[in-house]
Amino acid sequence: MQENMNIIETRMPLIGDKAPAFNAVTTQGDINFPEDYKGSWVILFSHPADFTPVCTTEFMTFATMADEFKEMNTELVGLSVDSLYAHIAWLRKIQELEWNGMKNVDVKFPLIEDIKMDVANKYGMIQPGQSNTQAVRAVFVIDPEGIIRTILYYPLSTGRNFDELKRIILALQKADADNVATPADWRPGDDVIVPTAGSCGTAKERMDSTDDDQYCLDWFMCFKREKK
């Protein structure tokens, strides 16, 4: 009975929710999240533990791609349930390592200290089926208004796909800018999907259209050609 009383039940935030707010100590100073990042996209991600091999490869990759994400108006914020001093020691050690062509890697984005698991519990990053003491590899993509737009979860044993993280940001930005959707395996420059016709008249107009910039496979599936 006592064990059950100690379980903290929190509702995991969902796509479309406001990102749960928190203040935290990080390797780059204190942050007020998501307020400090208003106007930017954010990838908030968790990792199981410092000084672990999969996490080390991920941090080397995130740090190496940090400038690419900045060019996309996207900031990186990491988290694990380790202490600030463990974070600092680990990030210093990463600078000494060489892997997959990456070396002298300096992690400049903030890494949150979350020993009490306050933030991890707010975001559903602790999943008992995997571990009661380590966060899974969660990814929350948060837009400039502080709204959660994408959620990904990876098990402890599987490193993340960084090309997909970048593609997600680009696809969301494209959808917002042009009021379109992106098809399977979309990459920048590929054709996009226009909103489905909302009336019989619009559906007929689209099927009969001779517009060179748009084509339909059927009334409900119309594409816009991207200019090369």
| 156 alpha carbon, distance to own chain's centre | 17
DSSP string, 141-179: EE-TTSBEEEEEEE-TT----HHHHHHHHHHHHHHHHHT
Beta-sheet pairing, 221-224 with 192-193: antiparallel
Question: 79, 13, 15: which is closest to 44 by C-alpha?
Answer: 79
DSSP state of 110: -
Active site residue 55: yes
Whether the Cβ atoms of residue 169 and residue 69 lie closer than 8 Å to each other: yes
Query: End-to-end alpha-carbon separation of the chain, Å?
Result: 64
With tokens 């098809």, the residue in question is: 183
The angle at the Cα of 75, spanning 69 to 77, to the nearest 5 degrees, equals: 125
The angle at the Cα of 14, spanning 9 to 16, to the nearest 5 degrees, equals: 145
Q: Has 92 been labeled as part of a binding site?
A: no
Catalytic positions, written as ranges: 55
Which residues contribute to the annotated binding site for substrate?
Answer: 137
